[in-house]
């Protein structure tokens, strides 16, 4: 690993890494059964510098902004390095947004350059946007033959023979403008500095180191805060290899673990939950004697690793499980949404460590992370090195708003001093999340302050807390609301709780499913129990990190149904 303390910018750190690890493989791009290509650090540099020279010839200079809208592929990372090399600011936009959503973010960020795939550019142009809202230089990849470029430049033509000049930056200079997911109508561009990223990288690699030969499987979008750090910056400054899949079909993802001997991977909790369901099904299908033997070995592993993990032991006891993950997997990272504690325990009992973390776009990648000393399935771990955290206005139960202070906290919101002043107070970031610290210094989360519900009994409850009781319900997805959140009523009474259910394809709401709901509901304290349910006929809207967009879902339900027609009593 290079010495990050000696660098003042991501461009400088990555520049040294490209030279230091020149002959190591940095990127592998695979699509189904075949590899598109693999690049050494030297080849990566040879791809990036002509692009940097091209940008500089177009008066792209220190502080200029360039947006990237791409799926996971080598050219995402090549583009980002070319921008950093030229002293620019990267604006990573979520490719899952539609063109209508991309245009105001491009305008708000004042990006001078856009690097994107052709079909994204075509969709943007079909909106007939005001030219003033678009970057003056657009570079497109994956262009069909004889396609109308609509003013853009092909990736292969965006190069220059002139030598690119490296433009140094300071630690306090802007590195990225990252838009917070679920922003709604008010763009929230988080301005993150080079120091934010360098300090975050130091913290994370101290707990989970990379090295030449370590392989990271990139499944989350590179624009996602987690993958930008642990699927780009972290591996590159340590000489590791990043594997991009151009397909996310489950069978090819599974095959990638064994084919590339994956060391680390980051998954959102929803994908991790699906992985758990698949494994449980396979375990249940084992012949009785094999299933008995497997359960015994799992119990032994659980007992021997209770205080701390022992990867070598787990790989011997549960050899087939670990071989199914390639035999080299050291940890899975997860975050960005609530993680079911039972799910985390399930993987830990198999000897697969899940680094469950907590973070915000406004604070880089992570603020807390489980260090497995000892493993705790019911928390998001302890604050990372360099992170201070405290609880504000705690109630009798110790729960209050989480506030943090760290060198990883953003500089400000772009062009929004009022919101910045509300969010960063005396150097402390007001997270808007509710939590408390236990006696061992682990942070427990209880949902978003704005999602808090006051019941008829005057009790404060959190949807995320109630939803944990319904984990494993045999439906596609579900979400807990206050009924008044969907259908506002003028009432001095507290709010009744309901659950919105999205059934599986072809599934019907049966009496058995209703009884399952009632059984789970009965295990909750009286004031946390739901009183009814709504059947919803479409997939829930989600952010890039797969959090349910509660406000959007509530609006959609309210627009389609009135309360009397939709709400069924339990």
pLDDT class for 185, splitting at 50, 70, 90?
low
No. of H helices and E strands in the chain? 20, 28
pLDDT of 492 over the 90 cut: no
Q: Which pLDDT score, from 0 to 100, does residue 50 have?
A: 97
Q: Which pLDDT score, from 0 to 100, does residue 493 have?
A: 44
Domain ranges of the chain: 4-251, 452-569
Task: Please check whether the two domains, 4-251 and 452-569, share a CATH topology.
Answer: no
pLDDT class for 25, splitting at 50, 70, 90?
very high
Q: Cα separation of 26 and 78, whole Å?
A: 11
- Identify the CATH class of 452-569: alpha beta
pLDDT of 455 over the 70 cut: no
Mean pLDDT of the chain: 91
pLDDT class for 151, splitting at 50, 70, 90?
very high
121-149 mean pLDDT: 95
What percent of the chain shows pLDDT beyond 90?
A: 69
pLDDT of 20 over the 80 cut: yes
Q: Tens digits of per-residue pLDDT, 503-552?
A: 999 999 999 999 999 999 998 878 788 999 999 999 999 887 778 888 88
340-364 mean pLDDT: 92
456-477 mean pLDDT: 80
Q: How many CB atoms lie within 10 A of CB 510?
A: 11
pLDDT class for 77, splitting at 50, 70, 90?
very high
pTM of the predicted model over 0.75: yes
In angstroms and rounded to an integer, the radius of gyration of the C-alpha atoms of the chain is: 24
Domain 4-251: CATH architecture, name and number where available: 3-Layer(aba) Sandwich (3.40)
Q: Return the closest-CA partner of residue 178 out of 99, 111, 119, 131.
A: 111
Q: Which pLDDT score, from 0 to 100, does residue 458 have?
A: 60
pLDDT of 336 over the 80 cut: no
| Torsion angle of the four alpha carbons 109, 114, 118, 122, in this order, in degrees rounded to the nearest 10 | 50
User: Would you call 202 helix, strand, or coil by DSSP?
Assistant: helix
DSSP state of 441: S
pLDDT of 181 over the 80 cut: no
Q: Tens digits of per-residue pLDDT, 388-418?
A: 999 999 988 899 999 999 999 999 999 999 9
Q: Could you tell me the two tokens for 114?
A: 């856009």
pLDDT of 175 over the 60 cut: yes
């Amino acid at each position: 690993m290079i010495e990050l303390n000696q660098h003042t910018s991501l461009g400088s750190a990555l520049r040294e890494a490209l030279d230091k690890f020149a002959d190591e493989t940095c990127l592998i791009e695979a699509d189904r059964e075949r590899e598109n290509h693999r690049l050494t650090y030297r080849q990566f540099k040879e791809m990036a510098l002509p692009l940097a020279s091209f940008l500089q010839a177009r008066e792209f200079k220190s502080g200029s902004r360039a947006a990237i809208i791409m799926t996971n592929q080598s050219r995402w990372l090549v583009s980002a390095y070319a921008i950093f090399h030229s002293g620019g600011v990267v604006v990573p936009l979520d490719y899952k947004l539609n063109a209508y959503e991309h245009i105001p973010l491009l305008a708000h960020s004042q990006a001078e350059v856009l690097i994107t795939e052709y079909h994204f550019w075509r969709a943007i142009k079909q909106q007939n946007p005001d030219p003033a809202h678009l970057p003056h230089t657009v570079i497109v990849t994956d262009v069909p033959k004889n396609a109308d470029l609509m003013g853009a430049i092909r990736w292969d033509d965006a190069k220059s023979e002139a030598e690119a000049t490296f433009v140094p930056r300071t630690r306090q200079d802007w590195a990225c403008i990252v838009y917070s997911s679920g922003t709604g109508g008010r763009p929230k561009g988080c301005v993150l500095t080079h120091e934010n990223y360098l300090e975050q990288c130091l913290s994370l690699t101290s707990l989970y180191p990379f090295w030449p030969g370590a392989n990271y499987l990139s499944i989350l979008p590179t624009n996602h805060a987690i993958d930008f750090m642990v699927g780009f910056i972290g591996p590159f400054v340590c000489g590791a290899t990043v594997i991009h899949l151009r397909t996310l079909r489950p069978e090819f993802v599974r095959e990638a673990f064994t084919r590339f001997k994956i060391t680390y991977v980051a998954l959102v909790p929803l994908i991790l939950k699906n992985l758990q369901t698949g494994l449980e099904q396979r375990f249940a299908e084992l012949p009785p004697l094999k299933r008995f033997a497997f359960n015994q070995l799992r119990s032994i592993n659980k007992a021997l690793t209770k205080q701390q993990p022992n990867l070598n032991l787990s790989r011997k006891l549960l050899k087939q499980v670990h071989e199914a993950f390639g035999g080299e997997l050291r940890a899975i990272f997860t975050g960005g949404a609530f993680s079911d504690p039972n799910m985390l325990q399930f993987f830990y009992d198999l000897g697969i460590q899940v680094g469950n973390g907590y973070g915000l776009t406004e604070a880089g990648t992570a603020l807390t992370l489980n260090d497995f000393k000892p493993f705790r399935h019911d928390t998001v771990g302890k604050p990372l090195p360099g992170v201070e955290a405290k609880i504000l206005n705690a109630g009798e139960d110790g729960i209050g708003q989480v506030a943090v202070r760290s060198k990883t906290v953003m500089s400000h919101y772009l062009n929004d001093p009022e919101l910045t002043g509300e969010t960063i107070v005396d150097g402390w970031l007001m997270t808007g999340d509710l939590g408390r610290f236990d006696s061992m210094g682990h942070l427990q989360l209880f949902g978003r302050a704005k999602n808090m519900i006051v019941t008829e009994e005057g009790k404060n409850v959190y949807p995320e807390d109630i939803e944990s009781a319904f984990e494993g319900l045999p439906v596609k997805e579900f979400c807990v609301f206050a009924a008044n959140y969907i259908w506002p009523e003028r009432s001095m009474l507290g709010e009744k709780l309901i659950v919105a259910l999205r059934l599986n394809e072809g599934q019907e709401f049966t009496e058995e499913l209703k009884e399952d709901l009632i059984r789970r509901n009965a295990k909750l304290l009286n004031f946390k129990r739901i009183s009814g349910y709504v059947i919803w006929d479409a997939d829930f809207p989600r952010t890039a990190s797969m959090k349910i967009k509660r406000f959007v879902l509530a609006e959609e339900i309210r627009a389609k149904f009135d309360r009397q027609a939709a709400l069924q009593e339990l």
